[in-house]
Amino acid sequence: MARKVLLLNPPGDRLYIRDQFCSHVSKGTYYWQPLDLLMIAARLHADGYELAVVDAIAERLAPEETQSRVERFGPEAIVFLTGSDSFAEDIAFVEEAKRRGVACAVGIGDILREKGEALMVRHPALDACLTDFVTHGLTAFLEGRREQAENMTVRDGSAIKKIAAGPKPRFFTIPSPPYRLFPLDRYRMPYNRYHPYATIITSTWCPFGCSYCPFARTPYRLREPDDVLRNLAEIHAMGIRQVHIADWTFAVDRRQATAIVQGILAADFGFTWSCLSRVDLMSRELMELMKRAGCDLIEFGVESGNQGILDRYDKGTTLEEIRRAFGWARELELDTLATFVLGLPGDTPETMQQTLDLALEIEPTFCSFNAASPRMGTGLRHEMIEAGIIEDRDEAILDSSRSLPVFSTDQLAAADVERFRRRAIRSFYLRPSYLARRLRRVASLVELQNHLGNGLSLAWQSLRSARAPRS
């Protein structure tokens, strides 16, 4: 029975972000806390395991230095992050760790969630895969009770078995993560005001149906409000001033979200916090309550400025709802981050221009313009494979944040999407009025450093992609 477990974010030559089944690369200087490993650590720590964390990406560790760190701890098992962008590197590192004495390796990531069984056949070093980082049977697996290893694909002798989870109650609890095991001083969010920060969740997955998202219509469960507030009280006791709520969609259940926000307000924790949500879940009253309780930023997936594109990909929101939510945020002086997707099948130069026009109209505090990506586990990926737009390869660069677009359509060549994305970034961020407004609202040295570092990184990446040779 393995009692010493090392949680690993493997080394790589880029700032790979592998967690939450969405593999991509940081397009700035930011690198956030790996939610998968935090939640897995919470369960294992509560179950009495001796844990160590090696985040080789955050700590910028070379492969051999990382192997040395693993060997010094001497784990019986490692649980490692991986993704479609880095799987070949990751599995090679794990195979070497097993040659050096690690007995068991468990992986989690988008490519394993989509193709875990096939990859386990080809890579005997991989003993199991996790398909959920909140509800799972990892402890059962480590104790040899493979039949109880729910939400896992496990190697059992010569057989590979996928163990499903049974029905779950609507509400759940989870222990607080052992934050201090993680290199908190190495993590940055692009918009944080204070450092270090801590990550929590108040729910799992997402009930909405966006076909480009790997969590479309996945089982949505809520965390008990009192359990969230207990976790937040422990974070407050650590002296941390910034919290990120990493739910894919905060406030799906208005009563639960209101209870949490009112609890934060009553406890007077004094920290600022951010979250991700949807424009159709917001009301002015809820946003005002969130602002009073310390919320300083909400991230919204806007995706497109064309209603037909939103409808085609089952976004479930309207342009009017988008304008209204961002209008409320401006009135309340509540910062926003708007994400957009460029180059989806059906997008044209005209619809991409509508997207940029909307971004300039709604005036979010930050914009993230992303090339469309057929991510593992999405309806979009399966649709594009069937249409012959992409091939069903096991290992592929699917990064939507800074890599070159990975496909062309009848309406748009990949190079056109790349050029427009660079123009959109310049059009939004290089306006004198925007730059002056951002400088006036900087509230801390950490926030100023974030803006400068990420701005320089965006400029460098834009220049590099403009000079990249085209195939």
Neighbours of 124 (CB within 10 A): 10
Residue 457's pLDDT is what? 47
Residues sharing a CB contact under 8 Å with residue 314, sequence separation 6 or more, in sequence order: 208, 209, 210, 211, 216
Residues sharing a CB contact under 8 Å with residue 420, sequence separation 6 or more, in sequence order: 342, 349, 352, 356
- Residue 350 tokens read as 């005209």
Measured between alpha carbons, how far is 73 from 65 in angstroms, rounded to an integer?
Answer: 13
Residue 469's pLDDT is what? 44
Neighbours of 269 (CB within 10 A): 21
DSSP for residue 123: -
| DSSP H or E stretch at residue 441 | helix 432-441
Q: Do domains 4-163 and 189-372+407-467 have the same CATH topology?
A: no
Hey, where are the domains in the chain?
4-163, 189-372+407-467
- Phi/psi of residue 113, each to 5°? -65, -35
Averaged pLDDT, groups of 10, the chain, 471 residues long: 90 92 82 96 97 97 98 98 94 98 97 94 97 96 96 94 94 98 95 94 93 81 98 98 97 98 97 97 98 98 98 96 98 97 95 98 96 85 83 59 69 93 95 86 59 49 46 37
The hierarchical CATH code for the domain 4-163 is 3.40.50.280
Residue 398's pLDDT is what? 53
**CATH number, domain 189-372+407-467, options 3.40.50.300, 2.40.50.420, 3.80.30.20, 3.30.420.40:** 3.80.30.20
Residue 446's pLDDT is what? 57
Residues sharing a CB contact under 8 Å with residue 315, sequence separation 6 or more, in sequence order: 210, 301, 303, 304
Q: What is the CA radius of gyration of the chain?
A: 22
pTM, two decimals, is: 0.91
Residue 254's pLDDT is what? 97
Measured between alpha carbons, how far is 95 from 10 in angstroms, rounded to an integer?
Answer: 12
